[in-house]
């Protein structure tokens, strides 16, 4: 258990800046998920903390001391890799014991620790097997076990579930969460999968093009996305975003075909005509016979709910998530409940909260 603090952590590859200065403070035992599209720098961030890459600038404080100049071997950090990276020539037992032997742990202590980790992960009958004799899910568990037995200060997870099939992924996701809670080890978890991010993290750090965009709890990120990028990235299907303009002295917005929507939570700053982006999550769209007409393009039944993708009269793509089955017909009438509206500035993309 340890606290982790990043101070203005930067990384350039040659002339290309990959991380533009990350500040972060993690409490002991916290699980923080770094999420972002591929190429946003999230894996680089993890590798900097691991010591596999050398930072261009900034500090990495583990329990208050700067580990940035240290070799990975001196950091007491364990990492679970995307493709597991098990030692193919060693048995499951030796894979898990390797790090302990290097640290000079006594033989019977190694035995105890590996056995208890194997027990926890259901690997006991497989201890003498080689990695190639294991299924994907079992390899994943061994990779976890290798990290667990070390009892490190910090766990790093680099998209550990992305090579598993969908069902196993859900199962392992829950298992990782349970293990992390139980062991209370401070953890950094990198993923591009927003469901994983939402379900696993105590807090999320959303990265976009090497810059931190939002650092908050999953529900906070979901309910109050900091900008249009986060709004579109978190939540499935993605939030509907469409252009509008401020009107009525800042208390309402006009969007394309002369539709006016009044804010329920207060007036936004700026002159009338200020360009806005409005956002509404598909599940918040209401069916309203008096509303706009939505030409239906595609219906995706998901069983318990249905996603309808269509076009508004001005041609904007718009999706609606309905509980239950899809309506019959070529079109449906929908309205946007003002209570669930997200308002962003069109120029900066930043969230626009009510003034005062």
Partner 1 sequence: MERRTIFSGWLLPVVLVLPQLALTVVFFLWPAGQAIWSSMTRTDAFGIRTMFVGLENFSDLFTDPLYLDTIERSVFFCAAVAALSMGVALVLASAADREIRFRGLYRVLLVWPYAIAPAVAAVLWILLLHPQIGLIGRWLNSIGIPWDYKLNDTQAMLVVILASAWKQVSYNFIFFLAGLQSIPRAIIEAARMDGARGFFRFRTVVLPLLMPTVFFLLVVNLVYAAFDTFATIIALTDGGPGKATETLVVKVYRDGVVNLDIGSSSAQSVVLMAGVIVLTALQFRFLGRRSGGG
- For residues 78 and 114, which CB has a smaller minimum distance to partner 1 in the complex? 78
Q: Is 79 helix (H, G, I), strand (E, B) or coil?
A: strand
For the bound state, the minimum distance from the C-beta of residue 335 to partner 1, rounded and expressed in Å, comes to 51
For the bound state, the minimum distance from the C-beta of residue 132 to partner 1, rounded and expressed in Å, comes to 7
Question: Of 197, 217, 221, 260, whose CA–CA distance to 351 is shortest?
Answer: 221
Question: Of 259, 324, 258, 317, whose CA–CA distance to 287 is shortest?
Answer: 324
Separation CA 190–CA 32 (nearest Å): 9
For the bound state, the minimum distance from the C-beta of residue 95 to partner 1, rounded and expressed in Å, comes to 9
Residue pair 345/324 in contact by the 8 Å Cβ criterion: no
- For residues 98 and 242, which CB has a smaller minimum distance to partner 1 in the complex? 98
- Binding residues (CB under 8 A) for partner 1: these are 50-52, 71-73, 77-79, 81-83, 85-89, 98-99, 102-103, 132, 146, 150
Quote the crossing angle between the two packed helices 92-102 and 107-121, to the nearest 10°.
130
Separation CA 185–CA 67 (nearest Å): 18
For the bound state, the minimum distance from the C-beta of residue 172 to partner 1, rounded and expressed in Å, comes to 19
- For residues 189 and 255, which CB has a smaller minimum distance to partner 1 in the complex? 189
Residues forming a β-bridge with 292: 334
For the bound state, the minimum distance from the C-beta of residue 99 to partner 1, rounded and expressed in Å, comes to 4
- For residues 50 and 62, which CB has a smaller minimum distance to partner 1 in the complex? 50
For the bound state, the minimum distance from the C-beta of residue 92 to partner 1, rounded and expressed in Å, comes to 14
- For residues 188 and 277, which CB has a smaller minimum distance to partner 1 in the complex? 188
Residue pair 213/229 in contact by the 8 Å Cβ criterion: yes
Segments of 194-233 assigned E as strands: 203-208, 211-216
- For residues 102 and 286, which CB has a smaller minimum distance to partner 1 in the complex? 102
For the bound state, the minimum distance from the C-beta of residue 15 to partner 1, rounded and expressed in Å, comes to 18
Q: How many alpha carbons fall within 13 Å on the CB side of residue 113?
A: 22
- For residues 75 and 192, which CB has a smaller minimum distance to partner 1 in the complex? 75
For the chain, the first-to-last Cα distance in angstroms comes to: 41
């Amino acid at each position: 258990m340890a606290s982790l603090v990043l101070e203005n952590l930067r990384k350039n590859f040659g002339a290309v800046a990959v991380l533009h200065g990350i500040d972060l403070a993690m409490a002991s035992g916290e699980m923080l998920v770094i999420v972002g599209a591929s190429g946003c720098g999230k894996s680089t961030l993890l590798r900097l903390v691991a010591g596999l890459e050398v930072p261009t600038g900034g500090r990495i404080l583990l329990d208050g001391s700067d580990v940035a100049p240290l070799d990975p071997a001196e950091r007491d950090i364990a990492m679970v890799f995307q493709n597991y990276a098990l030692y193919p020539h060693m048995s499951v037992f030796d894979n898990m014991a390797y790090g302990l032997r290097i640290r000079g742990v006594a033989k019977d202590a190694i035995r105890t620790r590996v056995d208890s980790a194997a027990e926890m992960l259901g690997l006991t009958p497989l201890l003498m097997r080689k990695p190639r004799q294991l299924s994907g899910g079992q390899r994943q568990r061994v990779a976890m076990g290798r990290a667990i037995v070390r009892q490190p200060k910090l766990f790093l997870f680099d998209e550990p579930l992305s090579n598993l099939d969908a069902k196993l992924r859900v199962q392992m996701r829950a298992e990782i969460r349970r293990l992390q809670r139980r062991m209370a080890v401070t953890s950094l978890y990198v993923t591009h999968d927003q469901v994983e991010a939402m379900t696993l993290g105590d807090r999320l750090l959303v990265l976009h093009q090497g810059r931190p965009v939002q650092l908050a709890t999953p529900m906070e990120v979901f309910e109050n996305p900091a900008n249009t990028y986060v709004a579109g990235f978190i939540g499935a299907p993605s939030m509907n975003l469409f252009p509008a303009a401020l009107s009525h002295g800042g208390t309402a917005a006009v969007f394309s075909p002369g539709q006016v929507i009044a804010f329920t939570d207060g007036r936004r700053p700026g002159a009338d005509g200020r360009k806005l982006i409005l956002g509404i999550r598909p599940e918040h769209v209401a069916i309203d016979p008096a509303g706009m007409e939505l030409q239906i393009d595609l219906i995706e039944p998901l069983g318990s709910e249905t996603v309808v993708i269509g076009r508004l009269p001005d041609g904007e793509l718009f999706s609606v998530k309905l509980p239950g089955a899809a309506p019959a017909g070529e079109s449906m009438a929908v309205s946007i409940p003002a209570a669930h509206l997200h308002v962003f500035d069109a120029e900066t993309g930043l969230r626009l909260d009510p003034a005062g």
